[in-house]
Structures are given as C-alpha cells and as structure tokens.
Structure 1
Amino acid sequence: MAQNQAMNGKIKQDNYKIFALLSNYLNNAPDFIDEEEVEDIAESGVSKEYAFSVILAAAFGLDVVDNKADRDLFNNYFQQMIHQLDADEYSSNPYYRNINIPTWKTGNSELRYEKYKPYEGFVCDDIIQTKEGRQIPQVGFFDREFSFPAILENGRIWMTITPNEIETMKEPVDQAFGHVLTYGLGLGYYAYMVSEKDKVESVTVVESNQHVIDLFKKHILPQFAYREKVEIIQADAFDYAEKQMAEGSYDFVFTDLWHDVSDGIDMYLRMKEYEKLNPDMAFSYWIEKSILCYL
C-alpha cells in the first residue's frame, strides 16, 4: 500500500512537472526549435519526432543520458507526447478545402489566416491518461509552414480552427445525428462538419456574441453547401439550456463554450446538470477527456 502511494505521488509530481514545463514553452517560446538542428539530429537515423523531443528535453534542462530520473521522465512522456503531423492531411479537411476565410477587419476584431512556423509546437489533441495515472499532453508540429483560420481581438488570437480543434471534434462530429444543438459558434467548424452529414437533419447554434454571428452569417455561412440546415440563435447558452432546450426536441447536444481546460471546468460541470434533466438527448462536450483529467 505504501509503495503504491509513493508511486502515485511520484506520478503526480511527474505530471505536474511536464505540464509546468510545457506551459512555459507553449506560452512563451513555441517556435524556438530550429529546423536545421532537428534535421541534423535526424540525419543520424532517428525520426524528426525523436529529434524534436531530444531538443525540447534539453531545453527543459533534462539530462536524458546521465540522469536516470530525467531519462525515465523522457521515456514515460515524450514518446507519447510529441507528434509530427502531416500538413497535407489537415489541408484536405473539408472545412479547410471548401471554406475560404477572407481578410476582414472591423473595430478591434480581425478575421484572417494565422500560421504555424516549421517545427513550432502546439497542443494538437486531448490529454491522454494512462492506466497508472500519467497525464500526457499532446503536442504537434509540422515540418513546413501551416496556415489556419483565426479571429483576433485587439491583436490577440481569440478563435481558431487548428489541428487541435479538428482532432478534438472528431468524436462529436461522428456521433451527431438528427436534430443537433450546439452551444458556441466560433468560426462554424462544428456546424459545417455536422451539416454535411446525411444523418443530421438540422443544426441549431446558440451563440451569445452578436458580432460573431454577424461575421459568420456574412462571410462563412453562405459557403455552406447545406446552409438551409443551420439556424443561429443569439442567446446565453445557460439561459437557453434552462428555458428552451427541453422544448427543442433535439437529439444531440454539443457544448463548446470554453477556450481550454482552465476556463472550462466550471462551465462543463454546470452544463452537465442540464444533461440530467434531458435524458432523451445525447450530450457531448469539447475536450471532455482533458477536463476529466482534472476532476
């Protein structure tokens, strides 16, 4: 028992250390890894993923050669954490392929394409939780420049459609059927993907920000092949869930109201209460697997 407790405590420490190191890297210097350095190491016969991992570990101050604790941390996390992504695979996504995002600016808001530099790191999927309790973030990179749609507010990225959104919405897109309700509009990725499905009859989007709705209706919705399926309602998500959701005869409900886990936990738990009141509806939540790691 004591040995198991000690092991669990060590794993929690490892989880905390990895998240702290990654947070500093992703928030402050996600593009510091040099393309030439990766390719130089890869010439020895290792993959670019491994080369990227070694460089990142060294930047974190880990000695994976002579320090056993550092080497164990590397082996337990980095091999499942770092991923080289295929730019062509994401560029062929139906939304990327069929929806053109114009450059547009009004007031403090701007719609445009942003870019990942070659070997720039970014979150690319939900956290993986292993049987022993390790929580492994998912970090991706491309070996060439990659563009993605974004809305900026006051010069800062506010909403995007990146590989992370694509990966973390695969399940709720696949699961959607019948009359779909989604909380949160963003750039309309979820609404677009489910509107393309034969099994989906309608898509009702609840969004509180009228500015986002206007932008979407003017620049993006007209490009939807099945835009007649889509209805946008300007309302607060929780007010709608409280007063109108039960009357809508929805089959599937997807909630995407938060930016990440840090601001999502409270809203997730709050929306789960309405799930209990609507047992005939199927519910899904953006990055739920990652949120559950913290509950």
Structure 2
Amino acid sequence: MHNEQHSIDERITADNYKIFAYVSRYLNDAPDLIQKEEIEEIVQLGVTEEYAFAVILASAFGLDIVDNEEDKQLFNDYFEPMIHKLDTQQYRNNPYYQNITFPSVMHGSSELKVESYEPYEGFVCNDIIRTNNGRQIPQIGFFDIAFQYPAVLEHDRIWMTVTPNEIETMKEPIEQAFGNVLTYGLGLGYYAYMVSEKENVDRVTIVEMNEDVISLFKTHILPQFQHAHKITIVQADAFEYAEQEMAKGRYDVVFADIWHDVSDGLDMYLKMKTYEKLSPSTIYTYWIEQSILCYL
C-alpha cells in the first residue's frame, strides 16, 4: 500500500513538472499562439471557448488526447481546471481601473505606459491551485477581446503591471489590511490604493527602493488617490527597513510585494519571513504566497 501511494505521488510530481514546463514555454515564447478562428471552428462542435482553448493548447504541446490514455488523463487532470475565459467588464469595474488614468511617460529608465492582452492571448491569472492529492495547477486566463492594462517597463522589459493576476492575488491581503499598514514594494500603487480606500485603514507606508518608480507614482498616480493623505513613501531597501523598523512594532499589517514572480521571489520570501519575529503582533501577508509555497 505504501509503495503504491509512493508511486502515485511520484507520478503526480512528474505530471506537475511536465505541465509547468509546457506552460512556461508557452507563456514565454508564444502566448499569442491561439487565434480566434481556431477557437470558433472548435466551438461549432458544441463545446465552450475554454475547452476549445485547452484542446488547441494540448495539441500545441504535442499531446494526443484522443488515442493516448496517458495524455488524455493529463488533459483531464490539468487542462480543464487550468484554463479560464475572463470577463473584461469584471476587471474594468475595479475601483483602481475606474478612477486612475495612466499617461505615457518616462522617468529615467522607467517608462509608464498602457500595454494590452490581445484576444485569446494566454496569461497567468491567479495563484497556482494545489489539489488535495498534490497536483499543482497553474491558472491561465484569456479574454475574447483586447484588454488594456497599465505597466511600468524597465529598459523595455515589463517590470510592474496591474493585470487580472495582480487583482486576484491581492484580494486576500487587501481584505486583511487594517489600521497602520506597511507595504514593501510600490509597483503602480494598486495595493496602496485599494487599502487606502478602506475606512478601517488609517495609514499606508510604502517602502520602495527605485527612485524613478517613486517619481512616476508621486507625479502621475498618487494625485488621483482620493485618500492620498493616508500615504507615506519611504525610499529604502525593504530588508534594511525591516531590520531597522519592525522591532518598533508600529504596524498592524505588512504586505510584501518585492518580487517579479515565483522564480525570483522564493529566496526573498524566505528572507522576509525571518523578520516576522521582530514584530510578533503584526499580521504578515505576501504576494503570490500560495504559488511560492508550491516550490517549497
């Protein structure tokens, strides 16, 4: 029985690696692989756009989900719970999107501009889901029409965005915020904006190292905040600030968002966790923690 369970666990681990390799290659190399015409052709057979998207993606990965039982099982276990057609209006109704506008401007090496997801372009849309039996399922979303979102580029590389992924993965940390809040990492100020709108939040301190990002935010975004008076920005290294300030116990809630994704976030997450003991009464929250934990 023990050997049988071990064998199942090993197979699930292997499947996880396989899916992550497929999805990573797809998102990095060809996120616009799937075209509207292909989707429409398959939908005519009476299936949803999500299912059509999954079938095309599986085919692009070289899977035979008709005649190969192993590939068919992989498809059923991962692809259907992985793919999500999203509603543009749901995100357009978000208060941040409703109330903040974004000019195209440069500050030093940082550029603020509007980027776009094209119809049927795939992107990460939420934290990885971990099932009870250990499967780790990435969450991939798409829209059926173009969707614009704000971004900061560093040397022409997208560095900070406010996309459906940020909105979904920050829901819980935003809900948990109250009193005197500290956030490591400014980005485009989405977290700061959303928590400053809460009546039970008195102050929001933002620790950000990048001078250009701070300048962009202060000049073009912060003046649009209804509760800008709650916001304080400190230019500092997050870890140095934690070392010097957390023992003073001034913050009710801390939110850390200083990594780009899981690949560069794991070490920083573990390092930031070590500072929790300096302020035991503070609630600590971390961006994409659920996904990071899948790698531990």
Smaller-chain TM-score bracket: over 0.9
> Unaligned regions of 5+ residues in structure 2, if any?
none
Residue matched to 1:219: 220
For residues 52-108 of structure 1, the C-alpha deviation after alignment (integer angstroms, 9 at most, x for no partner) is: 000000000000010000000000001110000000000111111100011112443
SS at match of 1:120: coil
Alpha-carbon contact 2:254-2:283 (below 8 Å) kept: yes
How far apart are 1:40 and its partner, in Å? 1.4
| Aligned residue in 1 for 2:50 | 49
Amino acid at match of 1:178: G
Q: What corresponds to 1:71 in structure 2?
A: 72
> Do residues 39 (structure 1) and 3 (structure 2) align?
no
Rounded Cα–Cα distance in structure 2 between residues aligned with 1:197 and 1:103: 29
Number of aligned positions between the proteins: 295
Q: Distance in 1 between matches of 2:206 and 2:106?
A: 24
Are residues 1:147 and 2:169 paired? no
* Structure 1 spans left out of the alignment, 5+ residues: none
- In structure 1, how many angstroms separate the alpha carbons of the residues matched to 2:38 and 2:98? 33
Distance 1:108 1:240, change over 3 A: closer
Shift of 1:244: 1.2
SS at match of 1:244: helix
* Residue of structure 2 in register with 1:18 after alignment: 19
CA distance in 2, matches of 1:126, 1:291: 9
Q: Secondary structure at the match of 2:274?
A: helix
Q: Secondary structure at the match of 2:276?
A: helix
Identity of aligned residues (%): 64
Q: Secondary structure at the match of 1:64?
A: coil
Listed as ranges, the matches of 1:202-213 within 5 Å are 202-213=203-214
Q: Secondary structure at the match of 1:204?
A: strand
Question: Contact 2:127 / 2:138 at 8 angstroms: preserved in 1?
Answer: yes
Written as runs of structure 1 = structure 2, the 5 A alignment for 1:70-149 is 70-149=71-150
- Name the residue aligned to 2:262: 261
Equivalent residue for 1:197?
Answer: 198
Alignment TM-score, normalising by the size of structure 1:
0.98
Q: SS in structure 2 opposite 1:220?
A: helix
CA contact (8 A) 2:107 2:212 kept: no
The residue aligned with 1:178 is 179
Distance 1:46 1:25 in 2: 23
Give the letter for the 1:86 counterpart: D
- Give the match's secondary structure for 1:119: coil
CA distance in 1, matches of 2:168, 2:193: 15
Residue number in structure 1 paired with 2:288: 287
Can you list the C-alpha shifts for 1:165-203, whole angstroms capped at 9, x where unaligned? 000000000110000000000100000000000010000
Q: Does 1:164 align with 2:190?
A: no
Give a deviation string over 1:216-272, Cα, whole Å, max 9, x none: 000000000000000000111011101112325110000001001111111111111
Task: Output the amino acid matched with 1:76.
Answer: D
Secondary structure of 1:197 counterpart: coil
Whether the 8 Å contact between 2:204 and 2:232 is mirrored in structure 1 is yes
Q: CA–CA distance in 2 between the matches of 1:96 and 1:287?
A: 21
1:30-55 C-alpha deviation (Å, 9 max, x unpaired): 00101011011112211000000000
CA distance in 2, matches of 1:260, 1:162: 14
Secondary structure at the residue paired with 1:167? helix
